């Protein structure tokens, strides 16, 4: 019975892993050419929601384990590293063939940089960062990077970006490279957790509920992007302005824990 408590969080991780694989297959058009990129991006959003549920389940059941941590990282690499890169490659290939042929090497290089940064971030997190800053992410989480690119692609499909803005086709590639670099950057991003302010706690809770409903229902991607940008600007802005304090507080805590 002791091992049974690990079933729920690992089940969420397994679903995220398989949906990441499904995203790659769907983006490649293996199941249906119609709306292939849209659904490939949507599966990445599903993975994001499941990724948060597996962490919640692990804490709720006291079912954290080394196996779970490694399995989660593998699922994250598929869902938020490889799947977004394939999504971008096939979006260009299928929806802007001429631009793809003219810029094939640049697109591949940008996607490769993104995947490599995702892999490096996940390896670094497991090796060094998982407990270093309990209240902050050091660099953009791979989950966040994946969902930024997924929501952006959904909006581009919805508003027919590839046909309506032929002079701005570099934009999604730039965003993917930028989010890749941010994953391995030293910038701090506050984690979403209970705060002293009641207003902030209510705001977080209400929007988490909205995100799960809208995410699974595949609705209001515009609002989801607004929340992503809000978290990005406010979170990284706070981390930049308070960097010295964050680092000094962590050094102080480490010294106390070590008896220094």
Instruction: Tell me phi and psi for residue 53, to 5 degrees.
Output: -70, -35
Angle, helices 7-27 vs 66-76, to 10°: value is 10
User: In sequence order, what are the beta bridge partners of 137?
Assistant: 189
What integer pLDDT is reported at residue 257 of this predicted model?
46
Residue 110 CB neighbours (<10 A): 23
What integer pLDDT is reported at residue 58 of this predicted model?
79
CA distance 121 to 119: 5
Tokens 């209400």, residue located: 206
Q: Is the pTM of this model over 0.85?
A: yes
What integer pLDDT is reported at residue 77 of this predicted model?
97
- Write out residues in the chain with pLDDT < 50, as ranges: 257-260
- Compute the half-sphere exposure of residue 50: CA atoms within 13 Å on the CB side of its CA: 25
What's 136's DSSP letter? Answer: E
Report helix, strand or coil for 141.
coil
CA distance 139 to 155: 25
What integer pLDDT is reported at residue 2 of this predicted model?
64
Supply the DSSP string of 3-71, one letter for each residue: GGGGHHHHHHHHHHHHHHHHHHHHHTTSS-STTHHHHHHHHHHHHHHHHHHHHHHHHHTT---HHHHHH
CA distance 192 to 136: 9
CA distance 99 to 179: 22
What integer pLDDT is reported at residue 34 of this predicted model?
84
């Amino acid at each position: 019975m002791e091992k049974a408590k690990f079933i729920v969080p690992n089940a969420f991780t397994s679903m995220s892993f398989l949906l990441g694989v499904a995203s790659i297959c769907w983006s490649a058009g293996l199941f249906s050419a119609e709306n292939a990129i849209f659904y490939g991006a949507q599966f990445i959003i599903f993975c994001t929601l499941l990724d948060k549920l597996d962490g919640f389940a692990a804490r709720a059941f006291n079912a954290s384990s080394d196996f779970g941590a490694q399995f989660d990282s593998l699922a994250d690499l598929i869902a938020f590293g490889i799947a977004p890169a394939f999504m971008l490659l096939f979006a260009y290939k299928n929806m802007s063939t001429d631009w793809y042929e003219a810029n094939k090497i640049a697109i591949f290089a940008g996607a490769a940089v993104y995947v490599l940064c995702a892999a490096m971030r996940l390896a670094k997190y497991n090796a060094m960062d998982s407990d270093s800053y309990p209240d902050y992410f050091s660099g953009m989480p791979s989950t966040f990077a994946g969902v930024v690119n997924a929501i952006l692609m959904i909006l581009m499909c919805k508003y027919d970006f590839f046909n309506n803005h032929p002079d701005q086709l570099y934009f999604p590639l730039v965003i993917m490279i930028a989010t890749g670099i941010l994953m391995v950057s030293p910038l701090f991003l506050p984690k979403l957790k209970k705060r002293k302010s009641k207003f902030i706690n209510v705001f977080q809770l209400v929007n988490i509920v909205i995100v799960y409903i809208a995410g699974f229902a595949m609705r209001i991607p515009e609002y989801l992007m607004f929340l992503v940008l809000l978290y990005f600007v406010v979170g990284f802005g706070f981390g930049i302005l308070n960097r010295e304090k964050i680092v000094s507080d962590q050094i102080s805590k480490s010294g106390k824990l070590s008896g220094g």
